[in-house]
Structure 1
């Protein structure tokens, strides 16, 4: 369902979320009405196929418009996460265009490129958006390695603001210009080590996906588990993305005396591992643990009942008692007949923060947006819970530092490294369903 198909009732419900966007370096005139266009383009590389998809979503009732770019995972291993981002983006787009950008009420367009869940695919998409389309702000991506590759190869040199909606690797902290809505995985890795130790495990086997996400999270987990909790990591090896079998990895893990197995991987890869582990009876011999990327409906749907019951992990979460998050959930459920995860909320907030930067900036350029994008989230300003509230302060003569956007995912408060604070939650698998428990804050 596209944002422009949403009815007036939904937009009213989203009035507590209203947001704005960004543009492609110049204002565009468009006629009344709304459209969505999708084009297939040959090339693109990245190992995910021969074609890349460009989607431009346009909303609004005419006049001027802004366009920003987004690189998302529409195909490949991270596609289950890209789908949830799409829904958050659609809700954000509907809300921003209900309010409009600036005193003229300009509308927002978002041009989306598929990264194919690969670094090269992400770089290709970002190059098109930045070099051909001229966007001064880019949202993306899901995978930490993809976000880092886009930053290092495209946005940093071009002076384009980049906001990742979902990337969690601690490596992003070393790149202060690379902003993100989801918190660093460092605190999550530490919390996961504590959870495993508290459950009585002193020897573990860890397998991690061979990219920046897996490397960063596994390093934090292993160091914390051994140095702070006195545990032993008997096996700590990577696995490649997109393999049809991981039986060799599982056999090696089973050859250790580990009582717990830690899977730091993506949904597709973990699904294969769960099925092979079930076939070999490993799931009854050891306890499984994971992080946020082993929480996905597709995992439950594509594994047999009982194959991972008792699994536990740590995932990012949202402050569920916060009113604007509840408004977000209500709108999400009405439009998609599903309950959102915090990841859709991160995608929503990425667009919102981009919009607030545009509203606050002196001009629509990478330099001007970069100068204000952190300020609109800082805790020194007045708390605002939606774009409409923030825009009212700015249009009444307020400065960017006069507002403190409280995201639907929680306080954003981007620090000097571009990182927000984190909310985490312990989850488990019971009767082949995810069950969410206690909260942890960083």
Structure 2
């Protein structure tokens, strides 16, 4: 399966897909929905057929996405719920860049001569907006596969309100809360945050501290990582309090941590919230050894905190497989296109798209039920290791099965387990001269 010479070149595809993704691509036409959004299921016959026996529990969607019968030449259309705005928008931007690179790679080869399109909807980094976005994708656009979301609470709300009880596949690009392990129907590309909490407990102890002040954001992400940390930490937790997102000040959190007497402070929160805390700690002259989970790290944090105020901080983040050739090729293309290095979040989004495309390529039909049968298998270790979409399609040929391939993502081996969790890697970062420096990796 190769790209037609008359198709746009890769960079043209990338730019077109990026513009279309953020604006929201045209949805699948001919979609019917039930009155109950929580039980609606999108299906599509491979040759543009209808709903077969007319069962009211099954909805149908056209192949072409252009309002006509489409045949089998129109694009395959899936959905994505991302944080385009709100407190997690920095992650959303990284997701979009990874998604666009993956779409370009997929559409350069094609899926049986057809393109892949992704309708992107904004969760606004909030659960209710995320649910509304997913309802639109599933019930109006009729997509059988949803990538989403960033925040663990948003992903779980989407699953419980929209996906659960249907055949629609949900694959989260960035959610790390340990609580998601309890929902095996909700797949995720980034490893569970429980590995972060365990690593942080070990690192803080190895650094010689026996007392810690713990500040965590009051949602599924913060609660899950904080709970695991408590289980793994052998010392004293002198301060253990939640905080809400989007507060104008976190002075009470910072003063509480300072008054606890703990010399090690652990932040399980998001970039805007941590930035405010770090600013307030610095302005009040508080000194402590800072530690953080993945969501406190980012260029925006460094840009908005005083020079040197974070030096010595240690952060544990999910890591891509930076030593693999396919990651290095991805990173090179990313840097060429965007003028900066990718993060693991971009790599996770990239792999979500490629995994979705391979699921479609190996499914008997473009339906949620059929994709449920293939989405796990295309990354299983029983198949032949493939490192790119093009390589995978070459191995599959005209009649390959999902068991024939083991997609090794740019983020590393995926190998979804029975709980929908992937194999993962963690990277240890320290802040030196107000820059993030890698100081080691841990296999999750």
> Greater relative contact order: 1 or 2 (C-alpha under 8 angstroms, separation 6 or more)?
1
Alignment check: 8 A CA contact 1:69 1:111 kept:
yes
Q: Decide whether aligned partners of structure 1 residues 252 and 115 sit closer, same or farther in structure 2, where only a CA change above 3 A counts.
A: same
Q: Decide whether aligned partners of structure 1 residues 242 and 10 sit closer, same or farther in structure 2, where only a CA change above 3 A counts.
A: closer
Give secondary structure in 1 for the equivalent of 2:132. Answer: helix
Q: Give the 4+ runs in structure 1 shifted more than 2 A.
A: 4-11, 23-26, 392-398
Give the equivalent residue in structure 1 for 2:76: 66
Q: CA deviation at 1:86?
A: 0.6
Give secondary structure in 2 for the equivalent of 1:64. Answer: coil
Alignment check: 8 A CA contact 2:102 2:353 kept:
yes
Alignment check: 8 A CA contact 2:13 2:107 kept:
no
- 1:403-442 to 2 correspondence within 5 Å? 403-442=405-444
For 1:308 and 1:85, the matched residues in 2 are separated by 26
Q: Decide whether aligned partners of structure 1 residues 213 and 9 sit closer, same or farther in structure 2, where only a CA change above 3 A counts.
A: closer
- 1:289-438 to 2 correspondence within 5 Å? 289-438=291-440
For 1:238 and 1:8, the matched residues in 2 are separated by 46
Alignment check: 8 A CA contact 2:214 2:266 kept:
yes
Q: CA deviation at 1:291?
A: 1.3
Q: Deviations over 1:186-234 (max 9, x none)?
A: 11110011011111110000000000000000111111012xxxx1111
Give secondary structure in 2 for the equivalent of 1:157. Answer: coil
For 2:266 and 2:79, the matched residues in 1 are separated by 35
Give the equivalent residue in structure 2 for 1:54: none
Give secondary structure in 1 for the equivalent of 2:273. Answer: helix
TM-score after normalising by structure 1: 0.85
Q: Deviations over 1:347-370 (max 9, x none)?
A: 000011011000010001110000
Give the equivalent residue in structure 2 for 1:88: 98
For 1:29 and 1:163, the matched residues in 2 are separated by 22
Q: CA deviation at 1:158?
A: 2.8
For 2:270 and 2:115, the matched residues in 1 are separated by 35
For 1:374 and 1:157, the matched residues in 2 are separated by 18
For 1:28 and 1:397, the matched residues in 2 are separated by 23
**Cα RMSD between the aligned structures?**
1.8
Corresponding residue to 1:233 among 230, 233, 237: 237
For 1:251 and 1:133, the matched residues in 2 are separated by 49
Give secondary structure in 1 for the equivalent of 2:93. Answer: helix
- 1:93-112 to 2 correspondence within 5 Å? 93-102=103-112, 105-112=113-120
For 1:350 and 1:10, the matched residues in 2 are separated by 16
Give secondary structure in 1 for the equivalent of 2:213. Answer: strand
1:27 aligns with 2:37: no
Alignment check: 8 A CA contact 1:30 1:65 kept:
no
Q: CA deviation at 1:306?
A: 1.4
Corresponding residue to 1:149 among 157, 166, 187: 157
For 1:398 and 1:101, the matched residues in 2 are separated by 13
Alignment check: 8 A CA contact 1:180 1:418 kept:
yes
Give the equivalent residue in structure 2 for 1:160: 168
Q: CA deviation at 1:390?
A: 1.4
For 1:290 and 1:362, the matched residues in 2 are separated by 45
Corresponding residue to 2:277 among 267, 273, 279: 273
Q: Deviations over 1:59-91 (max 9, x none)?
A: xxx942111100000111000110000100010
* Unpaired runs of at least 5, structure 2: 1-7, 16-26, 29-60
1:248 aligns with 2:252: yes
Corresponding residue to 1:123 among 131, 135, 141: 131
Alignment check: 8 A CA contact 1:30 1:63 kept:
no
How many residues in Structure 1 have an aligned counterpart in Structure 2?
390
For 1:6 and 1:286, the matched residues in 2 are separated by 49
Q: CA deviation at 1:391?
A: 1.6
Alignment check: 8 A CA contact 1:168 1:185 kept:
yes
For 2:436 and 2:416, the matched residues in 1 are separated by 30
For 1:356 and 1:72, the matched residues in 2 are separated by 21
Give secondary structure in 2 for the equivalent of 1:28. Answer: coil
Alignment check: 8 A CA contact 1:425 1:438 kept:
yes
Give secondary structure in 2 for the equivalent of 1:439. Answer: strand
Alignment check: 8 A CA contact 1:169 1:186 kept:
yes
For 2:334 and 2:283, the matched residues in 1 are separated by 37
* Unpaired runs of at least 5, structure 1: 12-22, 32-61
More strand by share: 1
For 2:261 and 2:81, the matched residues in 1 are separated by 42
For 1:434 and 1:371, the matched residues in 2 are separated by 41
For 2:298 and 2:75, the matched residues in 1 are separated by 35
Alignment check: 8 A CA contact 1:92 1:352 kept:
yes
Q: CA deviation at 1:6?
A: 5.5
